[in-house]
Structure formats: C-alpha cells, structure tokens
C-alpha cells in the first residue's frame, strides 16, 4: 500500500493526519504539485481526476478522495475509532466532517486559488483548466470569516466538533483553519472556543505528521 500525497496540500493532509492517529506507517510518494506533476500522464494513470491524495493497494487498485481513503483505513484498522461507533454517531461524524469541508475548506480554497498567481488558469484542481475569478477569492474570504464564527459557536457547548471526543471531523476542521494561513486569515482571539480547540488539536502529534 502507498499513499500519493503532497505535503502542502490540505486534502492529502487529512489522510496523513488520519493515518498518524491510527499509528499507520504507510509509505508516501510525493507528487510535486509545485511542478504540476499531478497533470502528467504518469499520475493521470493513477488518478484520472489528477488530484492528490490517492491510495494504491498492493494489487494496483487505487482509491482516491481523502474521505474514501480514510473510510477504508477505518474499516481495516478500527482502533482508535475516528468515524463513530454506532450508526448514529457515524452519521454525525460524516455530517460534521462535511460541514468542515463544504463551509470551510471550499471557502479557503476558493480564496487561495483565485488570487494566488501560481494558480493562474488553474482555479480548481482536476482535469479542466479554469481561469481565476477575483470575485470568487473575495467570496471565499467572506465565507471563511463566517465559518470561523459559526464553528466557534458550535464549540461553545462541546469539546470537539462532533461531540465529546476527537474524530475525523476535528481532523478536517483543524486542517482547514491551519490551511487558511495561505490566505493570511487566522482565528481571531475573541473566538475563544475556536482558539481553545485549535490549540488543543494542534498539540496532537498527528498535527505534525
């Protein structure tokens, strides 16, 4: 088994942090997004969507999409549990994880990719070249600002994103807040719940994996 990743990209980091929490030592192959290696034929054979991460199994089968990769690893290595122990808890972790992704990660990504010169003509990852849209960068910043305030509210009455214990939803949430460095947006100090939670998750060894 090996994981194709790139250390600066948030989606592979979800899988890498997940693996570290599980204590899994899966070999990693860096796909250099800096030189657009993900768009070259070699990698397009691994993942036709030309995105990282991708998990290649020993028989050559490839699983892409960080959520699918983590789900697979959770089933193979159930402990420590990160995705829920009952049908209801599993649904709640999925729900919260998706909120982190849809409201948070998508916002930061649209702010970053529509503003940074490196992404000229590449405003989305994947196989289609798309022009940057400056208004979309602005929209992303507005959304992310709201996301941080909303997440702070959710964290007012519970220690972790999905409830009373650390789950995959915290992994995605933490990576989103951390990734927002690229658009120079940091959690404002007055968001005390968010600040407390962000520091706590950041102190886990998996945050440095």
Q: Which chain residues interact with a second copy by CB under 8 A?
A: 48-49, 57, 61, 63-65, 67-69, 71-72, 75-76, 87-88, 90-92, 94-95, 98-99, 103, 123-124, 126-128, 130-131, 133, 135-136, 139, 142-143, 146, 150
State the nearest-atom distance from the C-beta of 183 to a second copy, in Å.
Answer: 17
* Nearer to a second copy (CB atom), residue 35 or residue 156: 156
Residue indicated by tokens 């991460």: 53
State the nearest-atom distance from the C-beta of 82 to a second copy, in Å.
Answer: 15
State the nearest-atom distance from the C-beta of 79 to a second copy, in Å.
Answer: 15
* Nearer to a second copy (CB atom), residue 131 or residue 164: 131
Tokens linked to 56: 């290649």
- Other CB atoms within a 10 A radius of the CB of residue 206 amount to 17
Question: Of 194, 114, 179, 205, which Cα lies nearest the Cα of 146?
Answer: 194
Residues 68 and 55: their CA atoms lie apart, in Å, by: 10
Distances (CA, A) of 65 to 52, 133, 152, 158, 166: 8, 25, 27, 29, 21
Residue indicated by tokens 């010169």: 117
* Nearer to a second copy (CB atom), residue 45 or residue 208: 45
Tokens linked to 115: 């503003």
* Nearer to a second copy (CB atom), residue 62 or residue 207: 62
State the nearest-atom distance from the C-beta of 71 to a second copy, in Å.
Answer: 6
State the nearest-atom distance from the C-beta of 120 to a second copy, in Å.
Answer: 15
Helix, strand, coil share (%) of the chain residues, nearest 5: 55, 10, 35
């Amino acid at each position: 088994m090996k994981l194709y990743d790139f250390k600066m990209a948030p989606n592979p980091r979800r899988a890498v942090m997940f693996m570290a929490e599980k204590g899994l030592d899966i070999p990693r192959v860096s796909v250099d997004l800096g030189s657009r290696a993900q768009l070259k034929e070699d990698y397009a054979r691994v993942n036709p969507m030309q995105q990282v991460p991708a998990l290649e199994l020993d028989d050559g089968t490839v699983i892409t999409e960080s959520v699918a990769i983590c789900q697979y690893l959770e089933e193979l290595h159930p402990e420590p549990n990160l995705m829920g122990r009952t049908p209801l808890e599993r649904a709640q972790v999925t729900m919260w994880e998706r909120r982190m992704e849809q409201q948070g990660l998508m916002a930061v990504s649209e702010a970053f990719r529509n503003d940074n010169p490196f992404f000229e003509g590449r405003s989305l990852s994947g196989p289609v070249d798309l022009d940057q849209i400056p208004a979309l960068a602005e929209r992303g910043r507005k959304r992310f600002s709201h996301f941080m305030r909303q997440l702070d509210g959710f964290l007012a009455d519970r220690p972790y994103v999905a409830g009373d214990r650390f789950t995959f939803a915290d992994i995605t949430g933490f990576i989103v807040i951390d990734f927002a460095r690229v658009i120079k947006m940091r959690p404002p100090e007055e968001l005390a719940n968010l600040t407390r939670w962000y520091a706590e998750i950041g102190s886990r060894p998996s945050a440095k994996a």
